[in-house]
Chains A and B, each alone.
Chain A
Amino acid sequence: MAEGEIRIGVYVCHCGLNIAGSVDCKEVAKYAATLPHVVLAKDNRYTCSDQGQEMIKKDIKEHRLNRVVVASCSPRLHEPTFRKTCEDAGLNKYLFEMANIREQCSWVHLYDRKAATEKAKDLVKMAVAKAALLQPAEEIEVPITREALVIGGGVAGIQAALDLADTGYKVYLVEKEPSIGGMMARIDKTFPTMDCSICILAPKMSDVGHHPNIELLTNSEVVEVKGYIGNFHVKVLKKPRYVKSDCTACGECAKVCPVIAPNEFDAGLAIRHAIYTPFAQAVPSTYIIDMNRCLNKDGVIVCDKCIKACERQAIDFDMKPETIELKVGTIIVAIGADVFDPSVLPNYGYGKYSNVITSLEFERLINAGGPSGGHLIRPSDMQIPQRVAFIQCVGSRSDRNGRLYCSNVCCMNTIKDSLLIKEHWPETEIYVFYVDIRAYGKGFEDLYKRAKKEGVIFIRGLPAEIIEDRKTHNLWLIGENTLQNELYKVNVDMVILSVGLEPRKESEIIQRLLTLSKTQDGFFMEAHPKLRPVDAATGGIFFAGCAEAPKDIKDSVTQASAAAARAGILMAKGKVTVEAITPISYADKCKACGLCTKVCPYNAITLNKELKRIEVIEAACGGCGTCAAECPFDALTQNHFTDEQILAQIDAVTEYDAEKKIVAFCCNWCAYAGADFAGVSRMQYPSNVRIIRTMCSGRVAPKFIERAFAKGAAAVLVAGCHPGDCHYINANYHTKRRVERFWEKMEKNGLNKERLQLLWASAAEGERFASKIREMQTIVEKVSREEIESSKKVFEKALGGS
């Protein structure tokens, strides 16, 4: 169909006033009509609406369009929509191209209609130039293994595993602690219903333990993940428990164990033995030996008391770590969050004053199964406190003292805790020092009102300092009541720091293993904050619970069920199509040098030495295009991002006023998304930048940069994900290497190397992108006529056909 005459239809979208507010869409459409191969150019209010899509379908048929360009929002938002429109009208979806004139034009140049319109014209011209060279492509299908891996056995992981297992899929649940249960198992009651936390969780934990479709791997960690959507190969390190599953959890062994240690489960407020079970309801109930504490080291059995005590002979000091290999189709990441350690805040004295405790310690103290049997006692003298203060936002909402974000759960947790105290000891005076009380959820406000009615005193303004009375160990809280503009000095028996949540330390390992991205907060980033909130950007991976952001139990469970459903959809289909952005190799040009095989992050290219050619495994290809950028003989290019197409875009940018423009190559996942985010946040930056989207910055071949300079561009920006965060494992390290080499080349030829910039910006770093453009604007202004001419000359060769 793509053969013969090329007939392009261009649709310029107003997006209500989102685009039309700062871009003259009519003029852009009129301009588009003058471009080569364009047979039709229209502007309309909402191209993505049903009418808009119907119009495109009708035009494809009536005007025999064989390429479609829509100038509207980001392709990250609506490319799938319009691709489907094209397909519905019988046009291959790879014959569709988008010009991003909203996030990367109208929203970032709100107050300069002329410049924004000019830029929009350029963006449309680039899209048209690329569209003319687009080729239809067929997507290959990859089968999906109908088994899932859930990482993390907190309430989110438990829910996700149960939902998937109940649907009928085999689930592997990996938990690094000896028991599943996570944070919820430690909490006494849940808000706002005041249910007993472990009472509602324990049945679910036990379901996990008994479910025929769930294989529970506790005391285990994921150490390697290879493969791609539908076909992940995972290695799990199962650390030895030194107790076989014959264990009946009778506890005779712990009774005789002569070694004691603080129990992590009770926040160190109770002791356990070296052989122990973290808590009564643990699943699996099998005991475990803590080898860091046990006297038997390096295979020498010094103490055999537990062995003698165990009637079932379940203790086995010869157990070795095992590596278990799994093949799964989907992965759910439910690794949860850590709690903030308040000992970094010297003014609150945590770790120094024994009666300053954290909310997690409080949960164990008020819990009937906890170390104090449910009596809220203060650690210094084991007495029940008469006056208690809660301090909110410890480690939250402050970039100086902890984290900038709100941890979501602490306000309600404190209100719940204050009511628990009132329930047992109604006479207790309770003060809550807060910044704002955020009671946003169902039933939350009622609980807040109830706490106020019960006499809990809420004071706005956090204490500046806590001072301990050395004799009584009572605490003085000093600060300012910001509602009444007065200073307060309150004396209490015990202070509870309402600590925030922070990303797990291990999340960096998981991030690296699964090539995920994170937001600035350090939590994992979803594929789309509104429409794909549980999907990771990497196919086949989903998030549940606090791994994605701090959230309460209800939200964690909701998200876990959503993640299970999303994973279930993939597995029910049983197959997935791989985007046709794989490499195309030209055997006649290939010299079988093997450079491409070395840079491929997925080992998807192999060198056939006998036939002197390369072989591409398309299903394993991630689609970064790094191989194509590496090939010195032009024997390799990337489908849908071919050399010709990208060069055509560069040529379109540099046709007029090149000496004032910045040609930017942005990777789809981080830099391009970051530029979109700058748009969404309406961050304004200079309008002379033209962004060319590639899947990865690794696709940016030096010849593209050469071409831009040869055509007289003032500056070039190559932007990708932060090193280590690359969506394609490590492809951006090749970007770094190529840019560094290019700088050397520029220096050698007497060119100002500042004109080529390299930027690492994540999808959340819109401001970083915007400020880079502002910074480059000053460079562009300094570039002289002579410099442009000399770079034109140096890279003259790049003007020859590609």
Chain B
Amino acid sequence: MPVRLWRKPLDAEKVKLPKAEIHILKNQCKGCGFCIQFCPKKVLEESEEINARGVHPPKVVDESKCIICSFCTSVCPDFAIFIVEKPCKEGC
């Protein structure tokens, strides 16, 4: 379709995508970086801090971008990350 799409869709606000709550168990992380690498929305990045295992665990850059695909949970070899959907209050 040659029509140029430049407008913000009128219903962009109305469409509610689930909001994520990302939980990282920092001290369980061994710093493999899989979660950072495979996140399709680039929600995570390596943090500055050093955990109990002496590595940099991931940190959340922008939680609102997370779409709860939970691929990070699937690829984490150390069960150190999981996502829960934020309970929806007042139209979220």
Contacts and interface: CB of A to CB of B under 8 A. Distances in A.
Interface of A: 177, 258-260, 262-271, 295, 297, 300, 302-305, 338-339, 341, 343, 351, 354, 360, 371-372, 377, 379, 382, 504-505
Which 4 residue pairs are nearest across A and B when measured between Cβ atoms? Answer: A258-B67, A268-B5, A303-B69, A295-B40
A303 B40 contact: yes
A272 to B, nearest CB: 9
A382 B17 contact: no
A262 B5 contact: yes
A371 B10 contact: yes
Q: Max chain A CB contacts within 10 Å: which of B9, B18, B69?
A: B9
Contacts of B87: none
Contacts of B12: 260, 271
A302 B71 contact: yes
Contact of B67 (A303, A304, A360): A303
A269 B3 contact: no
Given A259-B67, A303-B69, A268 B3 contact: yes
A379 B8 CA distance: 9
B91 to A, nearest CB: 17
A580 B38 CA distance: 66
B92 interface: no
20 contacts: A177-B1, A258-B17, A258-B18, A258-B67, A262-B7, A264-B1, A265-B1, A266-B9, A268-B5, A269-B9, A295-B40, A297-B40, A302-B69, A303-B69, A341-B2, A341-B3, A343-B6, A351-B4, A351-B6, A379-B7
Given A260-B17, A295-B40, A371-B10, A267 B3 contact: yes
Contacts of B2: 338-339, 341, 504-505
B80 interface: no
A339 B38 contact: no
Q: Max chain A CB contacts within 10 Å: which of B1, B6, B10, B41?
A: B10
Contact of B10 (A258, A343, A360, A372): A372
Contacts of A372: 10
B11 A270 contact: yes
Contacts of B5: 262, 264, 267-268
A371 B12 CA distance: 10
A264 B7 CA distance: 11
Nearest to A502: B2
Contacts of B10: 269-270, 371-372, 377, 379, 382
B9 A268 contact: yes
Given A351-B4, A360-B3, A263 B67 contact: no
Contacts of B38: 300, 302
Given A303-B71, A341-B2, A270 B17 contact: no
B68 interface: yes
B4 A295 contact: no
Given A264-B3, A264-B5, A351-B4, A302 B15 contact: no
A512 B71 CA distance: 46
Contacts of A382: 10
Chain B interface main SS type: loop
Contacts of A504: 2
Contacts of A304: 69
Given A269-B7, A302-B38, 20 more contacts: A177-B1, A258-B17, A258-B18, A258-B67, A258-B68, A260-B12, A263-B9, A267-B5, A268-B3, A268-B4, A268-B5, A268-B6, A270-B9, A271-B9, A271-B15, A302-B69, A302-B71, A303-B69, A354-B7, A371-B11
A258 B64 CA distance: 12
A297 B71 CA distance: 13
Nearest to B3: A267
Given A270-B9, A270-B11, A371-B10, A341 B4 contact: yes
Contacts of B3: 264, 267-268, 339, 341, 360
Given A177-B1, A302-B38, A360-B3, A262 B67 contact: no
A376 B92 CA distance: 28
Contacts of A263: 9
Contacts of A265: 1
A95 to B, nearest CB: 52
A300 B69 CA distance: 13
Nearest to B2: A338
Nearest to A264: B1
Nearest to B70: A303
A303 B69 CA distance: 5
Given A339-B2, A505-B2, A260 B15 contact: yes
A5 to B, nearest CB: 65
B7 A268 contact: yes
Nearest to B71: A302
B67 A295 contact: yes
Contacts of B67: 258-259, 295, 303
A258 B12 CA distance: 13
Contact of B9 (A262, A339, A341, A377): A262
Contacts of B69: 258, 295, 302-305
Interface string B25-41: 00000000000001011
B40 A271 contact: no
